[in-house]
Structure 1
Amino acid sequence: MRTLSLVGIGSGNPDHLTLQAIRTLESADVILLPRKGAEKSELADLRRLITRDILKTSPKVVEFDYPVRDAGTPKYLDGVNTWHDALAGIWTDLITTHAPQGAHVALMVWGDPSLYDSTLRIADRLATRGLAMDVRVIPGITSLQMLTAAHAIPLNTLAGVVQITTGRNLRDQGWPQGAETVAVMLDGACAFRHLARTDLHIWWGAYLGMPQQILLSGTLADMTPKILTARAAARDRNGWIMDIYLMRRT
């Protein structure tokens, strides 16, 4: 049986690679390297840097283009499932073409495969396509860890409740009941601006761990226009943005 290692590589800084991640990548026969278009070429460049400058071995590197998710699909989850099916098909073709039985295939995952990442769900679909894989996960530093470290704050208050959610859920459902601290990911629409509350503090970060890292914090009322302005300018400047924020009741 082939082995598929999903290797968390952190949020953009090669210094965040664990020894386990490096050793796993060095032991791979094939490394699948995704490309996400010219606008996000830095994401592929980091993966190329790891294979070129950090690994002491030379696994075969197979690059592939990510399919684009159809954002116009009426139901969000339907569009995501179709997108995942397309990716599973690409992985199946690449693995069967470049990795013989018994081979070790590795895929570098931004952050960690456990936190708002679909790599594990896509890997589950390989079996339905007749491709049996021994799937292993190598944990990586998450953007949430990077955010709290960059702002030098704890994730939780003493014995407090933390909820991790998405911008879509925050927009549709508002502040989660019973939560003192809310961490929000995947929020391209800046759902925090719709919260009509005066008791919230926000810690925001973009490009965490990368040279262009941006950090802002303060009361939600004060920071909302500043974050919107900084985010729009950074996206125009870089062509893409990855950001995350944490809010806490004061």
Structure 2
Amino acid sequence: MSSETRHLLVIGIGAGDPDHLTLAAVKAMRRADVFFVLGKGREKDSLTRLRRDILDEHVPGHPRIVEAEDPWRDRSQDESAGYAEAVHDWRRRRADVCERLIREELAPGRTGAFLVWGDPSLYDSTLAILEDIRARGEVTFDHEVVPGISSVSALAARHRINLNRVGRPVHITPGRRLSESLPNDDGDIVVMLDAHESFQHLAGSGIWIYWGAYIGTPDEILISGPLDEVSDRIRRVRAEARAEHGWIMDTYLLRIHPDGADG
């Protein structure tokens, strides 16, 4: 690596528990000269505080942190034909912010870091945004990725289950695509980013659900059981949690049990 090259670390920091950091993540964090944090507004201040808590616990001294506001995203398009363009527009504006941070706050030869919830490879935009910035050619850098414990892995661990069953696949999908991937005897489905509680449309299907919100944080909530029996409870608890915190992040596994109640 050239001494004049800016270097970026994209570090997976797990689902929220500071103990979820891998040794590789801790070592990478201690190499960084500056940490870039994109805030998501007052209602999600707790996410920024969790990042600061992680840095306080694992990085000696007072690490330099540069914050910027994450661009607003129009989520009214999430269920429409304009979804893809809305996401691309948001990513372009997010790339503008990140490019400015790298250019203005990271000197050549220094190392900057983005702390990514869960694993950077799973439903996170940071890597795609860095590739966009690189393609623009206005600021040069190299980067490396440190994997983290995803909310999917943490969900299975907290429910004490395997993600897969013997010889069967696991499908991971955003909630908006669940109807295209209904569970069957051939495999199970992990659902993420489900703002519209798509599981409620599967009532009567003989499916079990393993649901978790705020996984790995002090506010963690876990519910599991036959979907017919726990669907209303999940919806009620989810609404209460969202009202209390102003936001919610949840993940769940859908599974058809051959014998009706194993696991």
Tell me the TM-score normalised to structure 1 length.
0.95
Q: Which residue of 1 aligns with 2:157?
A: 149
- Equivalents in 1 of 2:185, 2:171: separation in Å? 9
Q: Report how far residue 238 of structure 1 moved.
A: 1.1
Deviations 1:174-206 (A, max 9, x none): 506774210000001010111254221100000
* 1:10 shift after superposition: 0.5
Structure 1 unaligned residues grouped into runs of 5+? none
**1:1-250 → structure 2 map (5 Å cutoff):** 1-73=5-77, 75-130=82-137, 131-171=139-179, 173-175=180-182, 179-250=186-257
CA distance in 2: counterparts of 1:196 and 1:127, whole angstroms: 46
**Counterpart-to-counterpart distance in 1, 2:97 and 2:49:** 21
Q: Does the 8 Å contact 1:26/1:57 carry over to 2? A: no
Distance in structure 2 (CA, Å) of the matches to 1:90 and 1:106 = 15
Percent identity of the aligned residues?
Answer: 43
Q: Could you say what secondary structure the match of 1:137 adopts?
A: strand
CA distance in 2, matches of 1:61, 1:174: 41
1:49 and 1:232 mapped to 2: Cα distance?
Answer: 27
TM-score between both structures, scaled by the size of structure 2: 0.90
Shift of 1:115: 0.9
Q: Which stretches in structure 2 are left out of the alignment for 5+ residues?
A: 258-263
RMSD: 1.5
Q: Distance in 2 between matches of 1:45 and 1:196?
A: 38
Distance in 2 between residues matched to 1:220 and 1:232, nearest whole Å: 17
The 1:125/1:178 distance shift into structure 2, 3 A limit, reads farther
SS of 1:115's equivalent in the other structure is coil
Secondary structure of 2:75's counterpart equals coil
Relative distance call for 1:215 and 1:64 in structure 2 (3 A) is same
2:134 and 2:162 map into 1 onto residues whose CA distance is: 40
**In structure 1, what is the Cα distance between the partners aligned to 2:144 and 2:122?**
16
2:134–2:141 CA contact under 8 A, matched in 1: yes
Equivalent pair of 1:161/1:178 in contact (CA under 8 Å):
no
- Give 1:120 shift: 0.8
* TM-superposition CA deviations, 1:209-229 (whole Å, max 9, x none): 111111100001111101000
Distance 1:113 1:182 in 2: 20
Q: 1:65 to 1:26 in 2, by over 3 A?
A: same
Please tell me whether the aligned partners of residues 208 and 214 of structure 1 are also in contact (alpha carbons under 8 angstroms): yes
Does the Cα contact within 8 Å between 2:181 and 2:189 map onto a contact in 1? no
Report how many residues are paired: 249
SS of residue in 2 equivalent to 1:229:
helix
Larger mean CA deviation between 18-27 and 173-182 belongs to: 173-182
Q: How many angstroms does 1:116 deviate by?
A: 1.1
Whole-angstrom distance in 1 between the partners of 2:15 and 2:89: 26
